[in-house]
Amino acid sequence: MDNFKNDVEIKLIALDMDGTLLNNEGQISEANRKEIKAATNKGIFVVLSTGRSLITSREHADSLELSSYLVTVNGSEIWDEKRELVERNLVKSELIEWMWELSKQHKTNYWAISTKRNWRNEMPDDLHTFEWMKFGFDVDDDAVRETILKELYAKGEFEISNSSLQNIEVNPAGINKATGLRIVCNRLGIDMDSVMAVGDSLNDVAMIKEAGLGVAMGNAQDIVKTAADWVTATNEEDGVAQAIRKWVI
């Protein structure tokens, strides 16, 4: 695959964060920083496309001196270069409550992202006064995870993915990182064929498939590697830097 799409001119790099841009200590390596800087110096947009909220991703974007868009909460929020909100997609609070009850029923850990803050293994008393964007389940037991997935799919209201093999991430139906990136590309006048998307988990598959060049990390889930055009090194081996160096620089 070394000669794959050599004629594609990459104008935007979309990077997942956990398991991709960040190493296992949650840090950005110097090699990754160097190649991202080289790409931005060439006028290429670098967009963090993450399941995280702005609260937990902004610091990393600022440390990279990125002056481009951010796709956060798996596409539920898009922020412009001034960190002003472009679009937000919400999950009905009644559905958040239903998923919370489902997590309690199966005794799983959980988290939820509202427009005000992130919640982990706790929820506010006044749940219905919040605006919600995502709910997540942490499930160690494979059988329990499958049971929860069946109930979620049966509901027919959700976009379902994961950011690790042990969790489930739930967004509004039809909302994912690819939908977020399409909005960004439209605003920048860039075709999705000119995007290189890099990721490691199920919540990255949509953008990897739609991008002109989809790159899976060496540590990616098998489903991601199958969807990708090329597989780079792991997040511990500066896989992002290697992909940028090969396909962009």
Same fold, 12-88+176-247 and 93-172: no
Tokens 């929860």 sit on residue:
148
> How long is the chain?
249
Question: Where in the chain are the domains?
Answer: 12-88+176-247, 93-172
Catalytic residue at 16? yes
pLDDT of 5 over the 80 cut: no
Q: Write out the CATH class of domain 93-172.
A: alpha beta
According to the model, what pLDDT value does residue 8 have?
Answer: 75
Sorted by sequence, the CB contacts under 8 Å of residue 237 that are 6+ apart come out as 218
> Which distant-in-sequence residues (6+ apart) come within 8 Å of 209 by Cβ?
178, 227
What's this model's pTM, rounded to 2 decimal places?
Answer: 0.95
Angular region, 73: left φ>0, alpha ψ -120 to 50, beta rest: left
Report the alpha-carbon distance of residue 42 to residue 172 in Å, rounded.
36
Span 31-46, average pLDDT? 98
What backbone phi and psi angles, to 5 degrees, belong to 149?
A: -60, -40
pLDDT class for 2, splitting at 50, 70, 90? very low
Regarding the domain with residue range 12-88+176-247, which homologous superfamily does it belong to in the CATH classification?
Answer: HAD superfamily/HAD-like (3.40.50.1000)
Which pLDDT tens digit goes with each residue over 162-180?
999 999 999 999 999 999 9
| Token duo for residue 148 | 């929860």
Helices (H) and strands (E) in the chain, counts: 8, 13
Q: Which of 2, 7, 16, 18 is catalytic?
A: 16
